[in-house]
Each structure stands twice: as structure tokens, then as C-alpha cells.
A and B are shown apart, each in its own frame.
Chain A
Amino acid sequence: MAADTLTLRVVTPENTVLDGVTVGAMVVPMSEGYLGILPNHAPMVASLRIGVLKFKAGDTYRAMAVGGGFMEVADNQATVLVDTAEVGDSIDVLRAKAALERAQRRLAERQGNLDYARAEAALQRARARLRAAEEARGSSGPGITPRDLD
């Protein structure tokens, strides 16, 4: 059954962020690099890392900061299970910047009892949110840049 769109659902433990959004293409942050997903993709389960997920709804790409999890694609239905998900234009940039600085400071100080993994994750989350917010502001601009596909 060839189709030219797939349906995207983004779910976090706390709520369903997107449900039944028709997308023409999407780019997901997999644990080993970004991957583009087009309609009629073979069934796949992948683990995702903290990063920016993009999906093409209509003619524009929209960006979303996601916080690590999984994705399942089958029958043109993509289900993304992540700890957190925020659509780019709803991100509070000031807060994200503050979080970024806080995480950087904590990593720089390196106190003895520092939970390194947690601080690192916080840093990545803050970066992802800022990038998603950036993408959202220039949403008419380039969809996927080569940088995202490396």
C-alpha cells in the first residue's frame, strides 16, 4: 500500500503531544545520528536520543525538542515515545537559555558528588530546546540542512 504521507504520533509519559498529524517526511535524532523517514518506510523500532525532531506538515518543516526515547514505524504510522517533547514555537527561549547556562556551570564546576550523566543530559536537553526554538522562529527557512543529516 503505497502512500505519500505517514501519520505521526508523539507521546510522553505525561501526555500525548501530537496525535494523528499527517506528515510528508520527518527527521529523527537516533542514537547513532539523524535519520530521515519517508512514507512507506520498512517497519522499524529505533532508540532516540535527546535532540531535535523535525517533521514536514504541509509545506513547512516544524521542529520539536525531544528528550530521548523510542520510535516505532510501521504501516505509515510513526509512534514516537519520548520523555519530553516540546514543539519549537512553544519553547520559552529565556528559560532554555538559563537551563543551558546552569548545566554548563554545573559541568564546569565538577564537584565531587556531581551526577555527571544527569548534568550532561540536562545540557543536551537545553541545547535541543534552543535549537528547536531557533528552527521554529525561522520556520519558513530551510527545512533540513546538511548539518542535521550528518
Chain B
Amino acid sequence: MAGKRDIVRRIRAVRSIQQMTKAMKMIAAASLRRSQAKVIAARPYARSLQDMLLRLVGTDANLKHPLAELRPVKRTAYVVITGDRGMAGSYNVNVIRLASAALRQSENDTVLIPVGRKGRDFFRRRGYAFAHEIVGLGEEPGFGQAKQLAQTLMTMFLNQEVDEVRLIYTEFISALQQRPADVQLLPITPVRGKDDLRGAGAPPQEAEGGGQPTAPVEYIYEPSAEAVLSSLLPKFVEVQVYRTILEAKASEHGARMTAMGSATDNAADMIARLTLAYNQARQAGITREISEIVGGAEALGG
């Protein structure tokens, strides 16, 4: 009989957990939609910037600018973008695993810059020192925050504190699929930049409708081509950091939605199993009572 009451208690506990995971799933779904809208809203700017940059440097692969300077790599900075919160399945773990592997395999010095509480806490427990850290970006990070991070990174690169800056984040493929990725931010490599901003983002119909046919037009540059270029490139880096953060956020919401969805399903399964166990226990009790009564009656009659 005690078993029955225990089962009732467990069913109640599982049901209240299910309510929470269900609520979290719905919140994550709403946040995901907002994040995706932000990713899309960020595209026109990135694309126009990309167009300007391409027009300016043409197909010239060896870009001459301090931000594009290739140096022998003595120190690499890794920016590791995780979430501030857990309950997102393997989202944080995957990024941390990729980052740990990169740090382990790296042949030169490394500097770590965690973005997000989960990654920071993980690496701090393991005794890593950080060049810089960012936590509490919030659910909807703005361009201003990305810009600050980008400027910190560019300063480190320009002061030769590091010779390479890489971003480890989670690429957003779809609401159900995210993939940890490791990309180079600095030095700027124009060819890869093109793939990044164009290839990933552009929906096909806009790709042809938006851009004017690129006839070779002579542009006037104000104040000069060099001046425009040297303000374009930092902007390009800022936009890339912004896009990366947005994508990581969208991935986090997607991962959380999936994780909480399956948690909710698992809770439903568990409730079903427990209900069955409860009914069995109840049935067993009734059967026992009946046989006791029958046994008693027989004892009396006999």
C-alpha cells in the first residue's frame, strides 16, 4: 500500500517538471523566432558592406592593411561563445569540447576570451586565465555589444598581443540542427570573408534581385579610397562578430527548444509508465484484499 502513495507522489513531481520544461520550450521557441528575425535583419547591412568592400579591393587577394597583416603566429586568441544558462542540451558542451580540443592541439601560445557564463565558469574551474571575458550578453544582444568586443579584439591584434583571432561558436543550421564551428576572424582574409557573409546568408531570390549588375563604374572616394578602406575593414570585423553572436544566440534557443521538447516528451513517457505501475499496484492490492476476504470467509465456514 505504501508503494501506491509513493507512485502518486512521483507522478505529481514528474508532472510539475513537465510543466516547467514545456514552458521553457515555448519560451525558447519564441526567442528563437526573434533571434532568427534579427539574423535576417542584419543581412542587408552585411551585404552592402561586403559589396562596397569587394568594389574597393576588387579581386585583389593581398589586401594591404594592418588588420589583414599575416604574421607568423606566436599567439592565438580564442573567443569561445557559449550561453549564460544551461538547460540547452549539448549546446554548451559541444562548444566547450571544440574549444578544449583547439587549445590542446594548438602549437603556439593561446589566449582565451570566453563569452557567456557557461564557458567562462568551465575554463575558470580548470585554472585558465582570460585576456578578457564577457558574461550577461542578454537574450537579445545588440550591435553595440558586439562592436565593443570586436574593438577589443582588434586592439589586441593591432598591438601584436596576438597574431590570430579565432571565434568558436555554434553555427545555426536550422532550429533542430546546430554545429560548433571554429572560424578565423583576424587577420582578415577577403576571400573567406566573402563566403562567410554571402554564402551563408543570402536567400537565392534576393541574391539576384538586390544587387545591381556590377558594371565597372568609376567611383569617387571621399575622402580617399585608403581612408574609406581603413574605416570599412574595422566595420567588417564588427559586423562579423555581431553576426557570430546572433547566430550563437539563435543556436542556443534552438538547442534549448529541442532539449526541452524531448524533456517534455520524456516526462510524458514517465508519467505513462508510472500510471501503469500505479494501476498495477492498485489492482494487486484489490486482488489481495479479495483473497484475504475469501480466505477469511472460508476459514469461518470450514
Contact among B45, B55, B212, B223 with A12 in the assembled complex (CB-CB below 8 Å): B45
Q: Which residues of B contact A83 (CB under 8 A)?
A: 143, 147
Residue in B48, B55, B146, B223 whose CB lies within 8 Å of A32: B223
A92 to B160, CA, bound (A): 42
Known contacts A12-B143, A13-B239, A83-B143; decide if A70 and B228 are in contact (CB<8 Å).
yes
B39-56 interface bits toward A, Cβ cutoff 8 Å, 1 = contact, 0 = none: 001101110110010011
A interface SS class: strand
Interface stretch of the complex, out of B98-106, B113-121, B213-221, B252-260: B213-221
A43 at the interface (CB under 8 A from B): yes
Stretch at the interface among A57-65, A71-79, A100-108, A133-141: A71-79
**Is A2's beta carbon under 8 Å from chain B?**
no
Interface residues on B, range: 20 to 34
B223's contact among A43, A47, A69, A72, by CB below 8 Å, is which? A47
Q: Which residues from B are CB-within-8-Å of A12?
A: 45, 143
Residues A31 and B217 in contact, CB atoms below 8 Å apart: no
- The chain B residue sitting closest to A30, CB to CB, is B222
Interface residues of B in 225-268 (CB under 8 A from A): 227-228, 231-232, 235, 238-239, 242
Contact A43–B143 (Cβ < 8 Å): no
Asked if residues A11 and B44 are in contact (CB atoms below 8 Å), the reply is yes
**How many positions in chain A have a CB within 8 Å of any CB in the partner chain?**
25
In the complex, what distance in Å separates the CA atom of A46 from the CA atom of B49?
12
Cross-chain contact B217 with A47 (CB below 8 angstroms) = no
Q: Which residues of A contact B222 (CB under 8 A)?
A: 30-32, 35, 44-47
Looking at the complex, which one of A15, A31, A75, A77 makes contact with B41 (CB distance below 8 Å)?
Answer: A15
Please state if B48 and A13 are interface contacts (CB–CB under 8 Å).
no
Instruction: Show 11 residue pairs from A and B whose CB-CB distance is below 8 angstroms, ordered by the A residue.
Output: A11-B45, A11-B48, A16-B44, A32-B222, A43-B220, A45-B221, A46-B221, A70-B235, A81-B45, A81-B52, A83-B147
